[in-house]
Structure 1
Amino acid sequence: MASTDEPKELDPATNVSQNNLAASTSSRDAEAIGINEKSLLRKLDYRLLPPLTLLYLLSFLDRSNVGNAKLEGMTTDIKMSGNEYLNGLTLYFVGYVLFEIPCNIVLKKTTPRTWLPTLTLIWGIVATLLGVVQNYSGYLASRFFLGVAESGLFPGVVYYISMWYKRNEQHYRVSLFFSAASLAGAFGGILAWGIGHMRGVGGYSGWRWIFILEGLVTVIASIIAYFWVYNYPSTAEFLSKEEREFIQFRLKNDSDATRDENFTWSAVLDTFKDPKVWLYCAGFHTMSLPLYTLSLFLPTIIKELGYSAAQAQLLSVPPYAVAFILTLTVAIASEKTHIRAPFIMGTSALACIGYILLLSDHRAGVSYLGTILAAAGIYPSVAIVLSWPANNVSGQTKRCIANALQISVGNIGAVIGTQLYRVETSPRYFLGHGFALGYLVANIFVVGVLWVVLRAENIAKAREIEGKESRPFGEENGEFEDEVFLGDKDPRWVFQT
């Protein structure tokens, strides 16, 4: 957060003046000590984002490849009904929801280098074991523990990114990281098509090899991640002493990332008492149902349009490819304009059009276009929704818990969604498509309410400090005993809208 010595710099609508002032000040200080700020940011991106993006790609691949395995005969071999298959999808999200907050508490008490690769190793082992399950009970247990192990990655990484980048830099990085989900969908279809041809190798069906091979890749990646993931700027080995100090400096007046904040239960309680946090939760809840129903059921939806299983695997690639491109495009536009809510509402409306096509026209070509528009709208919206509290919540423990709470509450929508695409509703799946459309409309409403609330609080903050002299945000981070750190309650903290 930038200094607000002059009230006119507090623009409650966009905060553009603040961001430009902070950027120019930061650039001058960088030049003074011989550091190229843009080069330093690129260095951080190259070092931090590739391992995180790879881990999330594998995470999304390992949770959604069950849809590809179903097309390759998993339910027949394990002697499960279609609705019993859905119960396993539900149990995954039950484990996911229950353990997200505990996982982020562990992250806060340990380090990213220790915790994130350990989670990856555990879910990689579970994902591999899915390939050797012999009955319905084994399928249910594997899906539940896969959800438990994967629950800490996304909220942990969102919090981690907030400790490295300034607030107006975080959204693009979170979106780049989240775009791995759409890449996973695209790769999943291609891989499943190829691996499916291994049926009979080693006496195993093709669907078993999907789990085994993709799970083993995750295990290998987790071992590499112990050496590839870094902790926080103050200890990162790839930075020089001057670069560490400059990163600390540029964060100091922008957020709480440089504070030496210990975990406290009072900060956890403060998170639960903030109505805005619950609106962030509702924002993701209304996106998680369409997000996960699409990622889990897209191959089946396409197959029911009249295509073969092999064709459906390959035809699941284009919707994700379009979603990947649009996710990055919208992220760049949102970052440059410092606007969040209108982009979410716009892309959610695009997804609504996709589901309207799926519900209203039975022709295969039109319905397939609907899946492309649905994916193209859902993924950009989710990326912004998930990065929003990382931009707007302060201090560290509150933000850490808010990130986890948002995804926990949000994924209750996924729990509901896993029961909607039932066998008896095929091939048109009116129930599932109708719920997804209703949730997207609700998302537009919730985001609109949050937009109004944040703008109103910005205006109130601007009026509160107008005409007052105040030190920059970073100066009271424990340096002055007579001042209390207020986090996002500080009148100088401007919410990104």
Structure 2
Amino acid sequence: MATTEKQLSSQSLDDVPPKEKDVAALPLSDATVDIETTYGVNEKALLRKLDYKLLPALTLLYLLSFLDRSNVGNARVEGLVTDLHMTGNQYLTGLTLYFIGYVLFEIPCNVVLKLTSPKIWLPTLTLAWGIVATLLGVTQNMAGFFAARFFLGVTESGLFPGVVFYLSMWYKREEQHYRISLFFSAASLAGAFGGVLAWGIAHMRGVGGLNGWRWIFILEGILTVLVSLAAYFFIANYPSTAKFLTDKERASIHTRLASNSDATRNEAFTWQNVRLALSDPKVWLYGLGFHTMSLPLYTLSLFLPTIITELGYTAAQAQLLTVPPYAVAFVTTLAVAVASEKLKIRAPFIMGPASFAVIGYIILLSSEKAGVAYVGTIFAAAGIYPATAIVLSWPANNVSGQTKRATANAMQISIGNLGAVLGTQLYRSRDGPRFFVGHGFAMGYLCMNVIVVGSLWAILRAENARRDRGERNDRLVGVATDEWLGDDDPRWRFQT
């Protein structure tokens, strides 16, 4: 990447060591920097420090986000629908409204992140959805439930794409995938943790004159509010201003990123760069890749307690039985991420787990025995979560241009969650225990995911081959050596 020394964050040329100037001027992927020789900073130790400072805090926020959106499934089996005098279909409408709010505000939230800062925006989002989540516990009727679910979607919409963009400003391209997968693993942890928590909180039934499902929302919402207030102090901004870094570590990060991505460029926000994302067919395919995963992902997370209850288990048993599928999913998410990182390939590690999840739905659709069908939920979770983690990291690795990447990340989640909007209407009470419509759609979507990801894989490999042959070099005619064309630049290579 033809990044020059004058593009290194907000530092002046006099502040940049000579060796850093030389590295910054090298094209992308051609620079090999010995950070320890240049700055006396051990690169592995620096990465461990970044992981320790960044990932636990971000993962905690996402765990709370997924917990606050999916605990409605736990609340349902504890009497939410009965107490609010709703039908099963009206409950499903409430689930749909969450994703409508989520989709509508995805891109605006990431634009706000670009215009403000992570240290302010991410905790503010967390505070907002924590308040809404708490209010779910005191709503008295269907209208209140609908409004709270819609605004929960609005307030949660900016976290995941915002964090994906944020991590791309700290780590090299090949380092982001594992970190995003680790971050996403909080979703499966939230499922496991949420089942145990819901089982315990449900025993508060009658405390304060409130049913157990209300305490699930109230206590988990208050927890989110408290964490959000602390987050203003433990969420860092970008490397150029992060207080936990020494000057040498800061310079090391800039040097590493300058030769690898666009993270050190001082790119101003423009609507033209937003339009670049909207007009790129590959960005839409990344979105379709998540779209075909979001339906099975969210139908499983929202309806797993109901699915297990319909197999003949009690509400208390169902809360606890949600734990094993999520625990297995957590392990497979990390294992698949490590394997993908070591082999430096993405697409096969999306298609493989998606195919594995298909087996789970075949079991769910074909077996009438409760124990066997329950095993199907474990297979489904074990495949859905690792595949989703990798598909979500793909545009962060492959889209260049900060505003374009922020927009692409938001577009992917928006397009993806349209699948979730459909999924919320598929698991109707009268369809249990086999849920042919819901399970059938989930299985079909997973098969579509294999086709979409396989097609995108072929497109990216073909484009890389064209650039290797020099067929895109005409784009550099009349372009200054220090100008970067984003992922349209023929010096850029896509990760496949």
TM-score (norm 1): 0.92
Q: Give the letter for the 2:299 counterpart.
A: T
2:222 maps to 216
Instruction: Give the equivalent residue in structure 1 for 2:494.
Output: 495
Match of 2:91 in 1: 85
Is residue 249 of structure 2 the alignment partner of residue 243 of structure 1? yes
User: Superposition RMSD on alpha carbons, in Å?
Assistant: 1.9
Task: State how far apart, in whole Å, the 2-side matches of 1:466 and 1:253 are.
Answer: 21
Cα distance per residue 1:150-207 (max 9 Å; x no partner): 0000000000000000000000000000000000000010000000000011111100
- Classify 1:426/1:239 alpha carbon distance in 2 versus 1 (closer, same or farther; 3 Å): same
Q: 2:468 maps to which residue?
A: 462
Distance, in Å, in 2 between the alignment partners of 1:388 and 1:467 is 25
Q: Which residue of 2 aligns with 1:8?
A: none
| Cα distance in 2 for residues equivalent to 1:335 and 1:21 | 20
Cα offset, 1:31, TM superposition: 2.8
Letter of the structure 2 residue corresponding to residue 351 of structure 1: A
**8 A Cα contact 1:465 1:492, kept in partner:** no
Superposition pairs for residues 139-288 of structure 1, below 5 Å? 139-288=145-294
Structure 1 unaligned residues grouped into runs of 5+: 4-17, 471-479
Pick one of 452, 455, 461 that aligns with 2:458: 452
**Offset of 1:466 from its aligned partner?**
10
Q: Determine if contact 2:467/2:490 at 8 Å carries over to the other structure.
A: yes
Contact 2:289 2:452 in 1 (8 A): yes
Deviation per residue, 1:388-440 (Å, 9 max, x gap): 00000010000000000000010000000000001221221100000000000
- CA distance in structure 2 between the partners assigned to 1:154 and 1:458 by the alignment: 28
Amino acid at match of 1:200: G
Residue-by-residue CA offset, 1:41-78 (whole Å, 9 max, x unaligned): 00000000111000000000000000000011111111
1:68 has 2:67 as partner: no
Say whether residues 1:437 and 2:452 are aligned partners: no
Query: Does structure 2 conserve the Cα–Cα contact (< 8 Å) formed by 1:288 and 1:414?
Result: yes
Change (3 A) 1:165 1:265: same
Q: Is the 8 A contact 1:2 1:254 kept in 2?
A: no
What's the CA shift string for 1:205-243, capped at 9, x where partnerless?
A: 100000000000000000000000001000000001111
CA contact (8 A) 2:165 2:405 kept: yes
Q: Which letter maps to 2:483? A: V
- Does the 8 A contact of 1:278 with 1:406 survive in 2? yes
| 1:304 to 2:310 alignment | yes
What is the DSSP-based 3-state SS (H/G/I as helix, E as strand, rest coil) of the residue aligned with 2:334? helix
- Residues 425-462 of structure 1: CA distance to partner in whole angstroms, max 9, x if unpaired? 12211000000000000000000000000000000011
Counterpart position of 2:19: none
Q: Structure 1 residues 58 and 271, CA, compared in 2 at 3 Å: closer, same or farther?
A: same
1:7 corresponds to which residue? none
Counterpart of 1:57 in structure 2 is 63
Aligned-residue sequence identity (percent) comes to 70
- Does residue 322 in structure 1 map to residue 289 in structure 2? no
Alignment match, 2:116: 110
Query: Structure 1 pair 194/252, CA: closer, same or farther in 2 (3 Å)?
Result: same
- Give the Cα–Cα distance (whole angstroms) in 2 for the partners of residues 320 and 2 of structure 1: 44
Consecutive unaligned residues in structure 2, runs of 5 or more = 4-26
- Contact 2:28–2:491 under 8 Å retained in 1: no
**Residue of 367, 370, 374 corresponding to 2:376:** 370
Q: Is the 8 A contact 1:322 1:376 kept in 2?
A: yes
* Aligned equivalents of 2:336, 2:412: Cα separation in 1: 22
1:485 aligns with 2:478: no
Shift of 1:2: 9.8
Question: CA-to-partner distance for each residue in 1:4-58, whole Å, 9 max, x for gaps?
Answer: xxxxxxxxxxxxxx99975xx22x2333321100000000000001110000000
The 2-side partners of 1:34 and 1:452 are apart by 42
Q: Please tell me whether the aligned partners of residues 162 and 390 of structure 1 are also in contact (alpha carbons under 8 angstroms).
A: yes
State how far apart, in whole Å, the 2-side matches of 1:201 and 1:221 are: 24
Q: After the TM superposition, which residues 352-391 of structure 1 pair with which residues of structure 2 at under 5 Å, given as runs?
A: 352-391=358-397
Which amino acid is 1:310 matched to?
A: A
